[in-house]
Structure 1
Amino acid sequence: MRYIYNQSTDPAFNLAAEEWLLGNDSNEIFMLWRNEPAVIVGRNQNTLAEIDESFTRKRGIPVIRRLSGGGAVFHDLGNINFTFIQNATPSGGLDFQKFTAPIQAALGHMGVECAFSGRNDLLIEGKKFSGNAQHFHGGRVLHHGTLLFSSKMADLSGALRVDPEKYRDKAVRSVRSRVTNISSHLPVPMEVPEFIERLMDYVSGSAAGEDMSLSREEADSIGSLANERYRTWEWNFGSSPAYNFEKRTRTPGGLLDVCMFVKKGHIQTVRLFGDYFGVRDINQLEGLIVGSKHRRSALEECLADVVLEEYIKDVNLPVFLDCLF
């Protein structure tokens, strides 16, 4: 087995690293890595239905789709991610306990007792500290999980705060759980670097001390994949399942009801209802929106030269855009 300590904290690079290693390295792999603050959504989720778009945009928090299913989570440097890549086929089914067992054993060795629970979680004293997911490709399985060690969860909790009534779709929804940090349960305090070292030493055994970095050539290829997929709107938002969006907003010009149908990230239909006033036909404004990406910057661009007050009195572009997310 190859053991990798990926010291990048760029979430797009790190998710690309998993995909690249899954498809290009024939070794069985165990990898540890961390992300700067980011929201990571599941493969089968509607990204906008999982996040507070305003919160993430204003704080510059990247939102990135991963290969595996499951729900949306937020990462920060107090969360350690682990990845196993092994030979396997979907016919064998999902086996989360096989890959979480070494983690449980390592934590037990550090004096922290934990238990596997439900479909894919690890718990300490009934509280979740690890969620896990899997993805099969080309006779290989990618298993990855989170390990909340000293995560500042409250700092990013607003990133996943969204009104569930706005989005009507068949996408997988996230489930919130009571969570805890591993550091709160350690008999002897330690910082993240020491925890990572001890975890890697335990899992890797005799391989501890070997070079565990990615090669320059691997890093270059992974960086290219990150740019081609994991940094793109098309992957992170545009590949969401089709959805209906409905939102009612009290604006300075009156009540505005927005009803949209979005497919492949592009607005297919839109209706703007409400008790607002305007001197121009609202159908003209709706027509300008149809075909745009359901993305704030794209809508801002297509409406940049429109005098919105002619359609909806006392409503400017920033206010109107807030109504569309």
Structure 2
Amino acid sequence: MIYILGKSPSPQFNLAMEEYCFRKLTQYDKIFLLWQNEPSIIVGKHQNTLEEINTNYVRQQGIHVVRRISGGGTVYHDLNNLNFTIISNEKNGIGFDLKSFTRPIIDTLKALGVTAELSPRNDLRINGKKICGTAQAYVNGRMMFHGCLLFNSDLSALSKGLKEPKEVIHSKGVKSVRSEVDNILPHLSRKMDVREFAARILETIQQEYPGIAEYSFSEEEISLFEEQAVSKYSHWEWNYGQSPQFSIEKKTKLLEGEILVKATVKTGRIESLELFTPFGEWKELEGQMLGVKYTPEDLKAKLREGEADKWVREFTINELAEAIVR
């Protein structure tokens, strides 16, 4: 068994590193990783990104939005939470025991005077409040199980970044189940920072697996992570375009009147669009928006390159684009 301590705060780099360990370091039966991300929202593989996030807040705060390769719901990361990953090969046809994956965390908390329990939804809870969401991926007899421990995270940013949308959205994407959350730190008998908490978890792992050794990546491996961080995990097509098809109905009130938008979005691009305003039909304009990425920036660019002023007299281009996109 090996362990890896992440050194980068980049969510794109860390998810590339994690995927590499899962898919490529198959000579190791068990791998344990500890890592942290700067403020970011990590979306499950089968989720509709726009359905899960508060788009305006995320943009204003500069929060990364990245899709991972495992299922499950959307989670918030920052540098005051701690992410762990356990990768394991299945042997002799015996199924994976999720309780065993969370035992090092539960044991560490117990040693610190805190009782945590694994819920039926496979998250960890203290006094009924969620302190760790988990997810897993499975490929060819190999399991990756990971979780994000809310140690002293900004729960206000978590709540605002994952705020429930006001728009009516219909999709087949897996929807997150919101739970009441809490940080671990207030429950500890003495104060410590997240680094010391990480060290305590590693100590627990080392006691359980005495032969565990630290693994150091080569320069070549790090270059692979950096390339994958850009080509996949920073790419709009993966983070947004992979979302299942969805339809959205959205009303925006402006001084000039109300705009009602009905749109269908497939692979992150507008497949159909209807605009209802007090100023008549805009069928030609609606047609020009088909195939455009469902982002304010791309819609604004498309509106500016055409003859939008022919229709957009009552509203500015910025107002119209932001009325169309959540």
| 1:282-320 deviation line (CA, Å, top 9, x unaligned) | 111101100111122221221123454532432111111
Say whether residues 1:255 and 2:267 are aligned partners.
no
Residue 252 of structure 1 and its aligned partner are, at CA, apart by 2.8
Say whether residues 1:174 and 2:168 are aligned partners.
no
What TM-score, normalized to structure 1?
A: 0.93
Identity of aligned residues (%): 40
Instruction: Say which of 58, 73, 82 aligns to 1:80.
Output: 82
Match of 2:241 in 1: 238
Instruction: Say which of 104, 107, 110 aligns to 2:106.
Output: 104
Tell me how far apart the structure 2 counterparts of residues 142 and 241 of structure 1 sit (CA, whole Å).
Answer: 23
Say whether residues 1:323 and 2:323 are aligned partners.
yes
Q: How does 1:282-297 map to 2 (within 5 A)?
A: 282-297=282-297
Give yes or no for contact 1:10–1:36 (8 Å, CA) kept in 2: yes
User: How many residues are aligned here?
Assistant: 320
Give yes or no for contact 1:170–1:241 (8 Å, CA) kept in 2: yes
Tell me how far apart the structure 2 counterparts of residues 41 and 94 of structure 1 sit (CA, whole Å).
Answer: 24
Give yes or no for contact 2:40–2:63 (8 Å, CA) kept in 1: yes
Give yes or no for contact 1:84–1:142 (8 Å, CA) kept in 2: yes
Residue 88 of structure 1 and its aligned partner are, at CA, apart by 2.8
Give yes or no for contact 2:245–2:267 (8 Å, CA) kept in 1: yes
Say whether residues 1:214 and 2:227 are aligned partners.
no
Tell me how far apart the structure 2 counterparts of residues 253 and 29 of structure 1 sit (CA, whole Å).
Answer: 59
Q: Does 153-162 or 2-11 show the bigger shift?
A: 153-162
Give yes or no for contact 2:104–2:201 (8 Å, CA) kept in 1: no
For structure 2, which runs of at least 5 residues remain unmatched after alignment? none
What TM-score, normalized to structure 2?
A: 0.92
Residue 165 of structure 1 and its aligned partner are, at CA, apart by 3.8
CA RMSD of aligned residues (A): 1.9
Residue 133 of structure 1 and its aligned partner are, at CA, apart by 0.6
SS at match of 1:240: coil
Match of 1:300 in 2: 300
Q: How does 1:151-162 map to 2 (within 5 A)?
A: 151-162=153-164
Residues 207, 93 of structure 1: alpha-carbon distance in 2 compared, 3 angstrom cutoff: closer
For structure 1, which runs of at least 5 residues remain unmatched after alignment? none
Residue 145 of structure 1 and its aligned partner are, at CA, apart by 0.5
Residue 92 of structure 1 and its aligned partner are, at CA, apart by 6.1
Match of 1:133 in 2: 135
Residues 49, 21 of structure 1: alpha-carbon distance in 2 compared, 3 angstrom cutoff: same
Residues 69, 94 of structure 1: alpha-carbon distance in 2 compared, 3 angstrom cutoff: farther
Give yes or no for contact 1:253–1:314 (8 Å, CA) kept in 2: yes
SS at match of 1:322: helix
Instruction: Say which of 66, 69, 80 aligns to 1:67.
Output: 69
SS at match of 1:85: strand
